[in-house]
Structure 1
Amino acid sequence: MITMSATEFLEAYAALTPLRDAMATARAAYLVAPAEFSLAAESARDNRYMDMSLAVDPLKALAQHSALARALRADCPVITFPGNPATPDAVFPNNVFGTAPGRLVIGRMRHAVRQREAERSDIRGFFADLLGYDEIDLSGCDDLVAELTGSLIIDRARGVGYCGLSERCNPAGARAMHKAFDLRLTFCFELAESEYHTNVVLTLLAGRAAIIAADGFRDPAVPQAIAAAYGDRAVWLTPAQKQAFAGNAITLSGERVWMSTRAAASLTDEQVGTLSDYGFAVDTVDLSEIEKAGGSLRCCVGEIY
């Protein structure tokens, strides 16, 4: 079922039965290292978190990315694919490649500079030849835009998707992702005009709680409905905290939420305490150089289910 009604979503959500053997967090993660890291002007056209006037340090970005891979290994195995100088800002693979048990989904990026990432034969081969995953390739579908888990936040424990419509995901893309990830229920909604991806305004915490930036949604009833689905176990972000990427976080275990140093520094003691009450410690990695490209920690992490 796909719905854009908050009322229909809550009714359908309440009727869901538990998924047998579903994993709330990924069994492994993969990253794509920066290579000659730089900012893509084409991506900046609809990514308001980018500032093309900023200078970037490719070596610093590479060091921060390496530190991220080392840190995440505390929660799960992490694989890092080498970067490609032909796609110097391709450090956010979760938009291009996504997984569900037994399948690899390849997204349809909006911008040509990022569409090239979907052509990587090594990543395709890793999943197809080594892991034996079936491939669902949306990259050649010209009638849709589907930037995977940038646009679609998935509650893996329940098979529920939260899909924000914007320049980076149209209704056809939402329908294609609902099918590709084999979801039982997808709640579609429009993001605020200034937003490009759902994963900067919403984080699900191992299917138990949420981090939400309410101003990132066009209809205020939408974030309220999402919070209600999780028993109002939500940490609400201010616009400044959202801008610091506090909504771009990830759980790779049931006990810890990862976010950038900048994001965590924006949280109040009360918010950190609330996360602790929900069972999550906050751990951080400095990604200040990579964040200049308009994404943060969650954007860097591809999940393997």
Structure 2
Amino acid sequence: MLEQRMPQQEKQKIQQNANCVVMVPPKEFAFNSQTAQDNEFQNQVVETTAEIRAAAMREFHSMVEQLRDVGVQVVVFDYPVGEIETPDAVFPNNWFSTTQGGALYTFPMACENRQHEVKVAALVETLKQANRPVFSQDSLISYLGQKAFLESTGVMVKDHISRTIYAALSQRCDREVLEDYAQRIGYNRVISFQTLLPSGKPIYHTNVMMAIGEEFCVICDEVIPEFERRFVIKSLAKDKQVISISIDQMNQFCGNILQLETGSGDKVIAMSQSAYDAFSPSQLTQLSSHGKLMPFDVKTIENIGGGSVRCMLGEIFLAAKS
């Protein structure tokens, strides 16, 4: 267990939930054999690539439409295709993050074909056209030279209000890079911990086992060793309603959910239909007290890509240009 306190910077009012997200169409979507080395959520299927991509695109467009219908701004980043295909581009939250102060950060990803997803200039222009301008940029991609990785909000689950980052350490979450990033953005607490799946491997991304909203947290705490688990839960329980999920529920992506806000400030909680169906009635009641539950059918993307609804949402905290 590591709790690292960072130097305190001048505080500003920080919002927990974004009211704008970037989503990337899955036009090159496919089973990614590189990420499958440590992502146990991925599955091979018999359908053709064309069939898989058509199904994934239907799921994507339905999700975009439903989010827009309730008042969440969705910026579709129809990225420029390069020479190397990027089958996981539909999961943009792993390569960038944004801050309320107008900054865009980019991150070192572990798999070579995922590194080609990073298209900063195109994203900045897309955000500018969406009235969400970037005012500064910073990057941790130089850590690739050390083979040290930090896959953004895939491996970091942030409590923005308390300026705390929770992170399960793994091949994709290097402690040194994690601490560096926290210091750059002025977050004064980093709580990192080990995890262990029944297979003996660690969780590949923290955001499949936990999610933090304004006043709640969902967490599969049984994968955290007991001596660290107590500390993590105690920290979360200080100001969050803690909703504990089982490994079976985690495998249905119950941890891969995200609280968002509409333009008018209403709370919504985005999740997959698989996750919704796996939550118990009492857990759904608890969650619905924190916002409108929005389940999306993304079974193709979940099954083949090994990521779910939260992974498909790149939060934009950049202020809208007045």
Distance 1:180 1:290, change over 3 A: farther
Q: Distance in 1 between matches of 2:46 and 2:211?
A: 27
Alignment of 1:203 onto 2:224: no
Structure-2 residue corresponding to 1:155: 159
Secondary structure, counterpart of 1:188 in structure 2: strand
Letter in 2 for 1:275: L
CA shift, 1:170, in A, is: 0.8
Structure-1 residue corresponding to 2:73: 77
**Residues 199-255 of structure 1, C-alpha deviation per residue, up to 9 Å, x if partnerless?**
01110112x110111123243224422432335x11111111100001000011263
CA shift, 1:51, in A, is: 1.5
Structure-1 residue corresponding to 2:320: none
Letter in 2 for 1:98: S
Letter in 2 for 1:301: L
Alignment of 1:190 onto 2:182: no
Secondary structure, counterpart of 1:211 in structure 2: strand
Distance 1:238 1:263, change over 3 A: same
Q: Distance in 2 between matches of 1:18 and 1:272?
A: 38
Alignment of 1:295 onto 2:307: yes
Q: Distance in 1 between matches of 2:94 and 2:71?
A: 22
Normalised TM-score (structure 1): 0.88
Structure-2 residue corresponding to 1:230: 239
Secondary structure, counterpart of 1:78 in structure 2: strand
CA shift, 1:183, in A, is: 1.3
Matches within 5 A, 1:1-305: 4-5=2-3, 20-53=12-45, 55=47, 57-73=52-68, 74-83=70-79, 84=81, 86-101=85-100, 102-126=102-126, 131-141=133-143, 142-143=145-146, 144-192=148-196, 193-206=201-214, 208-218=215-225, 219-231=228-240, 233-253=241-261, 255-277=267-289, 279-292=290-303, 293-305=305-317
Distance 1:228 1:240, change over 3 A: same
Q: Distance in 1 between matches of 2:230 and 2:21?
A: 33
Distance 1:120 1:38, change over 3 A: farther
CA shift, 1:34, in A, is: 0.5
Normalised TM-score (structure 2): 0.83
Distance 1:139 1:200, change over 3 A: same
CA shift, 1:118, in A, is: 1.4
**Residues 141-164 of structure 1, C-alpha deviation per residue, up to 9 Å, x if partnerless?**
222211010011111222221122
CA shift, 1:75, in A, is: 4.0
- Superposition RMSD on alpha carbons, in Å? 2.5
Q: Distance in 2 between matches of 1:105 and 1:18?
A: 20
CA shift, 1:182, in A, is: 2.7
Listed as ranges, the gaps of 5+ residues in structure 2 are 318-322
CA shift, 1:127, in A, is: 5.0
Letter in 2 for 1:115: Q
Aligned residues: 293
Q: Distance in 1 between matches of 2:171 and 2:99?
A: 24
Letter in 1 for 2:245: L
CA shift, 1:81, in A, is: 1.0
Secondary structure, counterpart of 1:121 in structure 2: helix
Distance 1:255 1:90, change over 3 A: same
Query: Between the two proteins, what is the percent identity of the paired residues?
Result: 24
Letter in 2 for 1:29: V
Listed as ranges, the gaps of 5+ residues in structure 1 are none
Q: Distance in 2 between matches of 1:180 and 1:52?
A: 39
